[in-house]
Structure 1
Amino acid sequence: MKVKDFYFDLPKELIAQHPMEKRDESRLMVVNKTNKEIEHKHFKNIIEYLNPGDCLVLNDTRVLPARLLGVKEGTGGKMEFLLLKRIDINHWETLVKPGKKAKIGTTFIFGNGELKADVISVSEGGSRIVKFDFDGIFEEILDKLGEMPLPPYITEKLQDKERYQTVFSREVGSAAAPTAGLHFTEDLLEQIKDKGVKIAFVTLHVGLGTFRPVKAEIVEEHEMHSEHYMLNKETARVINEAKLNGGRIIAVGTTSNRTLESIADEDGKVCEKSGWTDIFIYPGYKFKIVDALITNFHLPESTLIMLVSAFADRNLVMSAYETAVKEKYRFFSFGDAMFLY
């Protein structure tokens, strides 16, 4: 299968640069996999397509304000740090820009000196291991000094950090938001519960690999990045009960989908589990547990559109994307949503 099979022409003006004023006022394309019908709604209408006994599975990861802007001690040269992975209480793996200025032994200062970073080593991929020096609680300092690591296709500054967080985010650790969840409000979630739909939370910390382009020409040759996930005992119970009683398992976003499909056994049951997954879902994959999917509109030739094309027929998905362009849906992280069932 060729990567170019997942290409579509996307006008730049359809890439959403900011979130909607109201989360659930974004548009919703509803795609029926069986009869291939497409409906155009607003996200708050999602409740019309959910049935009592269904289980909505949300990713409760919370995005780190992981972009730090600092200066080199002594020279004042500007440097951008992006936190990738925490090694221990003081040490982090980071991406730096411009990299040539971040030599081993150099020190960088952030804010008014509340935070300092010493470059300890350079990894094989070019990232830096740095040791942070600070007084107090690192997360509080980061919340004050850090910025949201918005995707490269968003060029406008985000005015409210919380708009790049879901209203149910709680487990800090992501480099990017699980964007399908951004459309939910607390009120909408309450309405969904009142209808008799079960709500379950998994955690998958989204890595920056989600933004890396697929460089291989053949889909099967792409090497998928790894991301950390967690699913607790109570969540497993809720999901398994819903499945046993005939309810649908509805994944909110590709991250929830990947988590569920990584954990589920061949009978579609899940258990308490945590670990790393590099599952790569593309057409031909047989889904074990997910019955319906809520997702945003993704980049051409991305692993995300491949996953969606695995869940529904590729031709149907590509046709739906052509319709989305024609109808001027908003694309990517702050864009509109699609419900496939």
Structure 2
Amino acid sequence: MRAATVPIQRPRDARLLTVDRYGRIDEHPRTAFADLLRPGDCVIANDAATLPASLHGVHERSGNVIEVRLAGRTSLAGGDAMNRFSAIVFGTGDFHTLTEERAAPPDLHRGDRLRFGADGATIVRLLGHPRFVELHFDGDAAQVWRTLASHGKPVQYAHLADPLALWDVWTPIAAQPVAFEPPSAGFVLDWSTLDALHARGVPFATLTHAAGLSSTGDATLDQRLPLDEPYRIPVATAALVETTRARGGRVVAIGTTVVRALEHAAAIDGAVHPGDGTATQRIGPHTRLRAVDVIVSGTHEPDSSHYALLRAFADASTLARVTATLEAHRYRTHEFGDSMWVERSTDAVREEEHVYDERQGSWVAVPCDLS
């Protein structure tokens, strides 16, 4: 595999590797996505727009230059909820340096002030790691928006040489700006694709999920990914999923964030419930999928949290063959890369799920209610 280094959302030569429920692998141009769908299926995508979540500023107590990458929120609500974010803090440098090689920030303490031009934020607490903090931004929600607009840029990594513009990371269906990195599986979509779905009798709906960071630069902190992520499922979207399942169609999720939201919403009794929630679970080989039949995603390295989620859809040997195919045919990785379609192979009973225990500093298995 090779990194996609140019921020083109829908390159003409984009490819789509498919894995059916029997583990058979095939290759298609990504423009053939709609052809894989049949009447009775539905497609669900994340309509979150991406925030300019990388802010360069100064740690006032030390005078050191820092970068803050916003990483999470407790809810999608506006008002007072706009003031508080979890964040990863780096020292000097920018995206041109590999994330894992970035300088550490100065020692961070509760009450420290971070300054972004004339605006600022206060560290409320450390979140179990020296560079992972909760921030409270000054002012009301309008001032926070002004701070992000004035000083924020899209979170970016070293595989891209040039700075990203905000429109580079917004999908064609982007709506509420709540994501910290783009829900980039949605780059497979454009308006002609949606027209093709309609022509095939395949309904399309959205939810909103605050997609989080894909890397923190620290191996210990990366083990906590994905972080808790708030979501909102409209009534019409929940109803469409349930109708599709009742008639034997496939629920096709565009991206890992859609899988996390739908499966969390269905965890109690198997039905996708509308409304606001927070996806706290880690999806993997022990997860019994209750709502999603197919995931459309980017291509991911085997050590990533996104790849781990694929284990809920296909076994390790199938994914090993997938990785070999991706490498042999030099598929492009990262947000502007090629795509995959992975259909759920079995409906294995989930005996446990994994949640992050901050006291232990690790993911732990807890029994699931399988009723």
**Fold shared per TM-score above 0.5:** yes
2:35 is the alignment partner of 1:48: yes
Alignment gaps of 5+ in structure 1: 1-9
CA contact (8 A) 2:69 2:87 kept: yes
Moved more, 253-262 or 275-284: 275-284
Equivalent residue for 2:47? 60
User: Is structure 2 residue 120 aligned with structure 1 residue 116?
Assistant: yes
Is this contact kept in 1: 2:113–2:123, CA < 8 A?
yes
Q: 2:6 aligns with which of 13, 18, 41?
A: 18
Aligned to 2:154: 148
Confirm or deny: 8 A CA contact 2:56 2:68 kept in the other structure: yes
Contact map agreement 1:282 1:303 (CA 8 A) in 2:
no
Equivalent in the alignment of 1:3: none
Q: How far apart, CA to CA, are the structure 2 residues paired with 1:293 and 1:59?
A: 12
Whether 2:204 is the aligned partner of 1:199: answer yes
SS in 2 for 1:300: coil
How far did residue 211 of structure 1 move?
A: 5.8
CA distance, structure 2, for counterparts of residue 204 and residue 17 of structure 1 = 26
Change (3 A) 1:315 1:122: closer
Q: Which has the higher contact order (CA 8 A, sep 6+)?
A: 1
1:214·1:303 contact (CA, 8 Å) conserved in 2?
Answer: no
Secondary structure of the residue aligned to 1:310 is coil
2:55, 2:68 within 8 Å by CA — same for their partners in 1?
A: yes
Identify which range, 222-231 or 44-53, moves more after superposition.
222-231
Q: Distance in 1 between matches of 2:220 and 2:58?
A: 34
**Distance 1:54-1:116 versus aligned 2 partners, 3 A rule:** same
2:90 pairs, out of 76, 92, 97, with 97
Question: Structure 2 vs 1, CA of residues 69 and 282 (structure 1 numbering), >3 Å: closer, same or farther?
Answer: same
2:27 partner SS: strand
Structure 1 residue 245: Cα displacement: 2.2
- Aligned counterpart, 1:31: 19
Counterpart in 1 of 2:318?
A: 316
TM-score by length of 1: 0.81
- Pairwise CA distance, 1:69: 1.3
Determine the C-alpha separation between the residues in 1 that align with 2:217 and 2:231: 20
SS in 1 for 2:106: helix
Q: What's the offset of the Cα at 1:75? A: 8.8
Q: Distance in 2 between matches of 1:282 and 1:226?
A: 16
Q: 2:172 aligned to 157, 167, 187, which one?
A: 167
2:347 is matched with which residue? Answer: none
**Unaligned regions of 5+ residues in structure 2, if any?**
75-79, 92-104, 344-371
Aligned to 1:7: none
Letter in 1 for 2:205: A
- TM-superposed deviation, 1:116: 3.2
TM-score (norm 2): 0.75
Total equivalences in the alignment? 321
Select the structure that is richer in helix.
Answer: 1
Distance 2:10 2:315 in 1: 32
Query: Distance between the aligned counterparts of 2:124 and 2:287, measured in 1?
Result: 42
Q: Which residue in 1 is equivalent to 2:187?
A: 182
- Distance verdict in 2 for CA 1:156–1:107, change over 3 Å: same
Secondary structure at the residue paired with 1:324? Answer: helix
Q: Percent identity?
A: 26
Work out which of the residue numbers 282, 305, 316 in structure 1 matches 2:284. Answer: 282
User: Where does residue 6 of structure 1 map in the other structure?
Assistant: none
Q: Answer yes or no: is the 8 Å Cα contact 1:19–1:335 preserved in 2.
A: no
Tell me if structure 2 keeps the 8 A contact 1:27–1:42.
Answer: yes
Distance apart, 1:133 and its partner CA? 4.0
> What amino acid does structure 1 have at the position aligned with 2:169?
Y
Separation (CA, whole Å) in 2 of partners of 1:16 and 1:223? 22
Q: Which of 63, 69, 91 is the equivalent residue of 2:56?
A: 69
Superposed CA RMSD? 3.2
**What is the alpha-carbon distance in structure 1 between the residues aligned to residue 11 and residue 116 of structure 2?**
33
Q: Counterpart of 1:100 in 2: which secondary structure?
A: coil
